[in-house]
Amino acid sequence: MIFLTELAIAILVAVVPLAVLHAHLGRILTDECGTVERADFWVRYTYLVVGGCSILFAALGTHQGEPAITVDVLRYAFTRSLVGTLAALVGVGFQIMKFLPTRE
């Protein structure tokens, strides 16, 4: 039960920034990729990377042996998921930044 709770926290932590960035990410990638189909692929790829990193970070420090869900378990799950999500977003952001035209 604890693992499922940590997994749910990880998914929620990953979904919130992706929902906020969805429209902007789609427009930027459509401009850079040239077609909507290519941009959709990269948007979905971004979702998988961000969600996967959030879940991976949450799963690496699971409290499976704990007898009950405590505030500490929830806090650690949220923190690990947030770090994984931010790391993935920074990585994706740097990759997108490489292809954006520079302003002079």
Give the separation between CA 98 and CA 89, rounded to whole angstroms: 14
To the question of pTM greater than 0.85 for the whole model, the response is no
Read off the pLDDT of residues 33-47 as tens digits, 9 standing for 90 and up.
Answer: 888 999 999 999 999
The pLDDT assigned to 63 comes to: 67
Tokens encoding 57: 């970070």
Q: Which two tokens stand for residue 83?
A: 């770090």
